[in-house]
Amino acid sequence: MINKTIRSNHIAFVSSDTEEARDSLTVLVDRYGMCPPEDADVIVALGGDGLMLQTLHRFMNTGTPIYGMNRGSVGFLMNEYREDDLLDRLSAADVTTIHPLLMEAVDQSGHRHNARAVNEVSLLRQTYQAAKLRISIDGRVRLEELVCDGCLVSTPAGSTAYNLSAHGPILPIFAPMLALTPISAFRPRRWRGALLPNRAVVQIEVLEAAKRPVSAAADHTEIRNIASVTVREDTRSECLIMFDAEHGWDERILTEMFRY
């Protein structure tokens, strides 16, 4: 719980560019007021999961929690949209701290790129050629050659997103773990990935990089033609996300686990 009473004119609103989200923004600002984000007790994001990820990145390490209301499609990271009782909902909401992943990528020219991911770091082949990857954990090679469309490293927060679509495991939000999941593995075909402690450092090297180019993405930031990627949890960075107390993140994840 945020442990403070949220007042009108102490909320900042952001919205996606859809007509539905913009209309909701107008209604809520007229009703509850609006202040600059740097002065806000809470940021209310109106849109879908994509907007929520963008907002979490934008306000990372500011100490300001983000409360989403679904004006998009899936909305797994969002709360139900309602115009009434917003101040009471915000005051009673549960706050979860998320530590993002830090991706350090080296491209084929030797340039280094850093980016953070709330959901996952994913590697994907760029052409019709399957990717060949070598995977090391904490400096020790664990998979000499993975032939695949790609692979990803997911946080618990992202385990119900791309990771789940790739048949990776769903992780409880407070589990001190990461999911390492292959995407359409060809060889070894039966390898389904691994569960790793969140302190693990994952290094992925691209084999035959010139012939089989691979891109790496940390949420919305993509680096193309990579040679290697190192992924670790960034314990020095954090995002704060809010959910209604009656339908918190634990409940959402349990619901996904029993969905069929």
C-alpha of 105 from chain center: 18
Whether 136 has a binding-site annotation, put simply, is no
Q: Find out whether 195 is annotated in a ligand binding site.
A: no
123: how many CB neighbours lie within 10 A of its CB? Answer: 25
- String of DSSP letters for 182-200: EES--BTTT---EEEETT-
**Candidates 17, 23, 41, 49; catalytic one:** 49
Beta strands 131-137 and 150-154 are unpaired
Is 119 part of any known ligand binding site?
A: yes
Was 49 annotated as part of a binding site? Answer: yes
Tell me: is residue 139 an annotated ligand-binding position.
no
3: left (phi over 0), alpha (psi -120 to 50) or beta: left
In Å, how far are 124, 184, 218 from 213, measured between CA atoms? 9, 16, 17
Say whether 149 counts as a known binding-site residue. yes
In angstroms, rounded to a whole number, what is the distance separating the alpha carbons of residues 127 and 122?
A: 16
Q: Does the annotation list 120 as a binding residue?
A: yes
Nearest to 191 by CA among 142, 122, 138: 142
165 is in an annotated binding site: yes
The answer to whether the annotation marks 163 as part of a ligand binding site is yes
Contact 232, 244 (CB under 8 A): no
Active site residue 138: no
Residue 50 annotated as lining a ligand binding site? yes
Of 177, 199, 193, which is closest to residue 133 (Cα–Cα)? 193
67 labelled binding-site residue: no
User: Is 208 part of any known ligand binding site?
Assistant: no
- Per the annotation, where are the binding residues? 49-50, 119-120, 149, 157, 160-165
Q: Which are the catalytic amino acids?
A: 49
Binding-site members for NAD(+) are 49-50, 119-120, 149, 157, 160-165
